[in-house]
Amino acid sequence: MSEQKTTKIRRIISAIRDNDRFMVATHVHPDGDALGSLLGMKFILERLGKKADIFAQDKIPPEFDFLPQTRAIRSKPIQSAKYDAAILVDCGDFERVGDELAGFISGLPFIINIDHHVPNRPFGNISWVEQSACSTCEMLFDLCMSLSLAPDANLSSVLYTGLITDTGSFRFSNTNRRVLEVAAILVEMGADPVYLATQIYDSATPEKLKLLAQVLGTLQFHTGARIVTAELSRSMLANSSSSYMDSEGFINHLRSVKSADLAILFREVNDGLIHVSMRSREGIDVAKLAQRYGGGGHKQAAACRISGTLHAVRSMFVGEAVSYMN
C-alpha cells in the first residue's frame, strides 16, 4: 500500500472515530458498485458504533432489491437531521449525488469523498480517489483491513456485489490478481457467489426482455463492425411497460459482438437529453471521449449526457467515435 493511500485511509479513520452521526450517499441511477459501497459504508460505520443514514436519489434497480437493508435507503434528505459528516461513495464529482442531496450535503461541516472514477473532480475535506481500483467496494475492503475489521456475511455480500458488477463478472480489463484475491476473501467471509450472481443477472422480467428485443432491433454496425451502436427511446419504454432502470446492462449485449472494439448505447432520458453509454476493449480509452461532453468513468466503461434529439445525437456521436477510433 502506497504512503499516500495509507495517509488518506488514516485520515478517514480518524474522521470516523472523531464523529458520531453520518450521512452516506451515492450517485444518481445507482449501479451495483454504488449500492454495494453505500450499504458497505453503512455496515462499517455501524460495526464501529456509529449512526449512519444512507441515501440514493433514484430508485434501486430491482435486481439489487435482495441486498441486505436496501429498504433503509432514502431518496430525500432528512431536513431535521444533525449530521457530523457526510461520506459520498462512488461519485465522480459532487453533483453526481443529485441536486437535492447535494444542496443538503453542502451545508454539512465535514465531507469525505471515496471514489475510483476517471476523472474525479476532488471535493470535500478528505478526497480518497483511487483510479486503479476496480470498484469503490474494493476500496472499502482496504478500509476494513486498515480497521482490522473482518467483514461479516452481509458486508462481504455487498462488497462482492460491487466487485462483480464493476468488473463485468471478472471479464473486464480492470480484473487482476488482486481483485480475485479480494473476491476469494469475501467468499470465505460469507459472500455466496452463486446466489449473488443469480440474483443480479438471472432475475429479468418479461418486460425487460421485451425492451431488450426492441433495443437490439436498432443495432447498427460501423467501420467494419468495429463499432456497434443501438438506441432506446421513451416510446420503447411505454410499449414494453418497462422502466429506464430495466435497460441497465443492455450495453453488454452490444459489447459481446466479436468484432466490436467499441459499443455505444444511446438512451433517451427525456425530451432533449440523451445518455450515452460506452464500453470498449483494452487500448481504447472511452473515458477521454466521454470527457469531451462533460462525462467520465473508466478507460473501458464511460458515459456522458448530450442535449439533442435521439437521432441527432446518435448521428453526431457516431461520427465523433469513428474519428476518435482512427
d(CA 21, CA 52) in angstroms, rounded, equals: 6
What phi-psi label fits residue 83: left (phi over 0), alpha (psi between -120 and 50 degrees) or beta? beta
CATH 1.20.140.10 for domain 3-200: no
Mean of all residue pLDDT scores within the chain:
96
User: Above 90 in pLDDT, residue 3?
Assistant: no
Q: Which ranges of 19-130 does DSSP label H, i.e. alpha helix?
A: 32-47, 99-105
Q: What letter does residue 118 receive in the DSSP assignment?
A: B
d(CA 281, CA 260) in angstroms, rounded, equals: 8
Per-residue model confidence as pLDDT tens digits over 118-144: 877 889 999 999 999 999 999 999 999
The model carries a pTM of: 0.92
Contact between residue 254 and residue 264 where contact means Cβ atoms under 8 Å apart: yes
CATH architecture of 206-325: Roll (3.10)
- Domain ranges, ordered by start, for the chain: 3-200, 206-325
Contact between residue 205 and residue 246 where contact means Cβ atoms under 8 Å apart: yes
pLDDT at position 245 is 86
User: Above 80 in pLDDT, residue 1?
Assistant: no
Per-residue model confidence as pLDDT tens digits over 16-42: 999 999 999 999 999 999 999 999 999
d(CA 209, CA 246) in angstroms, rounded, equals: 9
Q: What whole-number percentage of the chain has pLDDT above 90?
A: 89
| 243/220: higher pLDDT | 220
Q: Cβ–Cβ contacts within 10 Å for residue 140, how many?
A: 27
User: Above 90 in pLDDT, residue 212?
Assistant: yes
Q: Looking up cell 432506446, which residue turns up?
A: 232
